[in-house]
Amino acid sequence: EPEVTQTPSHQVTQMGQEVILRCVPISNHLYFYWYRQILGQKVEFLVSFYNNEISEKSEIFDDQFSVERPDGSNFTLKIRSTKLEDSAMYFCASSDGGPQYFGPGTRLTVT
Amino acid sequence: GENVEQHPSTLSVQEGDSAVIKCTYSDSASNYFPWYKQELGKRPQLIIDIRSNVGEKKDQRIAVTLNKTAKHFSLHITETQPEDSAVYFCAASKESGGSYIPTFGRGTSLIVHP
């Protein structure tokens, strides 16, 4: 069964540094998403992406965040200048318009 | 925006018992309600979903009910097993740009004692 994959599984970075989190959605899916989950809390929507543009974003997704689909398979989330409060698990998800399927996540630790 | 409340936050049951998790939502336009199971350190996995045009859906030991009038929906797990132990998240969503953007509840930690 095809799955969403994410790299790296764990990223440690210093405050103020840029990070790029990478995702490979399920190949025939057209809708892509990023979520974050702070330890012990609920999953929070960040952004959705369709047809090479952002279709919806939450208040969390401010100017420090950006997404890109650089080629036919990857979907990336960039945080330009990380803050301590960006430490969380970041999940990518994809769908064909129906249920969303999540990747295994990238644990981002900002020190 | 949508607000989803989920109860209880922790649920402890004996193996073989039933477990019920309840959620309420605020936006009457929400029309798709998935449930996710998240084991420790792993990805959320869809276990069942229901759309607003049906009131109940069942898949083996798992069932979900939806009351649109009261804006609440519930997950029922029968004959619980230790491997059912996980955090369960409900979500409410409505179509946006061709897909659904879920608002998640805070999660229920289900512990099934052998």
pLDDT the model gives residue A105 = 96
Please answer yes or no on whether A42 and B45 come within 8 Å at the CB atom. Answer: no
Express each pLDDT in B68-91 by its tens digit: 999 999 999 999 999 999 999 999
Please give the full DSSP string across chain B, using - where no structure is assigned: ---EEEE-SEEEEETT--EEEEEEES-TT--EEEEEEE-TTS--EEEEEEETT-SEEEETTEEEEEETTTTEEEEEE-S--GGG-EEEEEEEEEEETTEEEEEE---EEEEEE-
Please state the separation of Cα B27 from the chain's center in Å. 17
Residue B97 has pLDDT above 80, yes or no: no
Please answer yes or no on whether B43 and A95 come within 8 Å at the CB atom. Answer: no
| In contact, B99 and A50? CB cutoff 8 Å | yes
Please answer yes or no on whether A105 and B43 come within 8 Å at the CB atom. Answer: yes
Express each pLDDT in A46-98 by its tens digit: 999 998 899 999 999 999 999 999 887 899 999 999 999 999 999 999 999 88
Assign A68 to helix, strand or coil.
strand
Which tokens in the block code for residue A25? 């959605």
Tell me which chain A residue has its CA closest to the CA of residue B33: A99
pLDDT the model gives residue B52 = 86
Distance from CA of B6 to the nearest CA of A (A): 11
Share of chain A above pLDDT 90, in %: 83
Of the partner residues A42, A55, A100, the one whose CB lies closest to the CB of residue B96: A55
| Chain A residues with CB-CB distance to B44 below 8 A | 43, 91, 102
Closest CA to A105 of B77, B36, B48: B36
Express each pLDDT in A7-55 by its tens digit: 999 999 999 999 999 999 999 899 999 999 998 888 999 999 998 899 9
